[in-house]
């Protein structure tokens, strides 16, 4: 499935809508991998998702910190960026297992393919591509039952 967004604003609206739909379905944990070239809109998507949930603060790219943490109501959200990850073993130092033990936790991971086995645990894979006309193509892939429920809630229909 491909979702075509005519503008960055349309992509932001889609992200905010997705986050609210996921919150309302109580899917947790939820692990979302965002893939795409530099500048495709991965961080923009995460910023808009957090904004849709009511986050009013700054949302920096975690390119250098690897992880940014947000508490929004009962949700704990981790924004990860594996672009500069030297090797997948470094993930152990981020305490991801401890974060997964929390009652309502979501992960938004940019460049998940750099995270070794972490990529195998994705509930949803979101591929973002940008065209020469500034259109954004978003290709969601539900990879688990939780991912299917979340994507169905977002898009308003059953998704497999």
Residues of the domain holding 32:
3-155
Q: Within a domain: residue 39?
A: yes
How many domains are there within the chain?
1
Tokens of 123: 């509930």
Q: Within a domain: residue 33?
A: yes
Q: Within a domain: residue 76?
A: yes
Q: Within a domain: residue 160?
A: no
Helix (H, G, I), strand (E, B) or coil at 47: helix
DSSP 58: -
Phi then psi dihedrals of residue 111, to 5 deg: 55, 50
Q: Within a domain: residue 31?
A: yes
Give me Rg for the CA atoms of the chain.
14
Residue 26 is predicted with a pLDDT of 86
CB-based contacts of 144, cutoff 8 Å, min separation 6? 122, 123
Phi then psi dihedrals of residue 39, to 5 deg: 85, 5
Q: Within a domain: residue 78?
A: yes
CB distance 98 to 127 below 8 Å: no
pLDDT values of the chain reduced to their tens digit, one per residue, 160 residues: 888 888 888 899 999 999 999 999 888 899 999 999 988 889 999 999 999 999 988 888 877 777 889 999 999 999 988 887 766 566 666 767 777 777 799 999 999 988 878 788 899 999 999 887 878 899 999 999 999 999 999 988 544 4
| CATH number, residue 30 | 3.40.50.300
CB distance 22 to 154 below 8 Å: yes
Q: Is the pTM of this model over 0.75?
A: yes
Q: Within a domain: residue 108?
A: yes
């Amino acid at each position: 499935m491909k979702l075509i967004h005519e503008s960055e604003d349309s992509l932001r609206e889609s992200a905010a809508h997705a986050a609210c739909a996921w919150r309302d379905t109580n899917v947790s944990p939820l692990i979302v991998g965002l893939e795409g070239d530099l500048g495709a809109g991965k961080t923009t998507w995460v910023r808009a998702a957090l904004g849709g949930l009511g986050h009013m603060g700054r949302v920096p790219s975690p390119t250098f910190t690897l992880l940014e943490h947000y508490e929004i109501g009962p949700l704990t959200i981790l924004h990860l960026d594996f672009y500069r990850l030297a090797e997948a073993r470094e993930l152990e130092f981020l305490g991801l297992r401890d974060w997964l033990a929390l009652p309502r936790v979501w992960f938004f991971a940019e460049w998940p393919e750099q995270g070794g086995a972490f990529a195998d645990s994705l509930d949803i894979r979101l591929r973002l591509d940008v065209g020469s006309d500034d259109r954004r193509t978003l290709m969601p892939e539900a990879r688990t039952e939780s991912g299917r429920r979340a994507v169905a809630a977002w898009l308003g229909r059953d998704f497999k």
